[in-house]
Structure 1
């Protein structure tokens, strides 16, 4: 599947549609099973608190994967993402209640590159706090 967005149709500052991604304890257990990452900080509240965390936290790779969905939904082809990197700045704390947490993600085109590529900068927050820093993707457009 080719990227649906044409390089000629974007400019620096083009905003991607923002998205919200809910995460609860059940989501973390399913992710642990899929990823093989069964670290107890992601499912055991007592253990998480004992090691100095405020509560159970989402897997960093889970948070990273949710954030890039804003780009893949916008471009229409996950294969169009040719680079992606982040810095983890704050954990996503997932309380054991009926709400869980919500990761809010927005993005905008920050640079036009050669070969129909653009750099997209992402902002990911949870509870008003930035959870990813330097979150950037390079995407090849049509």
Structure 2
């Protein structure tokens, strides 16, 4: 499969629940109370408990890795808005899309990622570099 600039990857939707935040906190050892304590989160000016930034970034990266274009060489993003995770069974819906923004001189692909929560972008300048495999 030939992949050119403008190629759109299959979109992905991921729900993050409070249970996901607990599991991520345990794996990352990031027990900051803004990720699990509603009272604390609101006292520091947040609307509610928020997802870990690195969890949001990891979830967004899945839109690239699920496309199986090749090896992920690098991935960067800026955190621009929190993902607020309600205390219910539905959680927060993170909507992900991506497209090839450039084919680099060495043949690698720069993939531009869009991550949205509640209709608003939550990551800025989210970009991955993928080294295509022969099968891609």
What's the TM-score once normalised by structure 2's chain length? 0.94
In structure 1, the residue matched to 2:112 is 121
| Residue 74 of structure 1, aligned match among 58, 67, 91 | 67
The Cα of 1:76 is off from its aligned counterpart by 5.8
Poorly superposed stretches of 4+, deviation over 4 Å: none
How many pairs are equivalent? 133
The Cα of 1:68 is off from its aligned counterpart by 0.5
Aligned Cα RMSD in Å? Answer: 1.0
Q: Which runs of 5+ in 2 are unaligned?
A: none
> Quick check: 1:10 aligned with 2:25?
no
What's the TM-score once normalised by structure 1's chain length? 0.90
In structure 1, the residue matched to 2:124 is 133
CA contact (8 A) 2:15 2:94 kept: yes
CA contact (8 A) 2:73 2:131 kept: yes
In structure 2, the residue matched to 1:3 is none
How far apart are the structure 2 equivalents of 1:124 and 1:49? 24
How far apart are the structure 1 equivalents of 2:14 and 2:89? 15
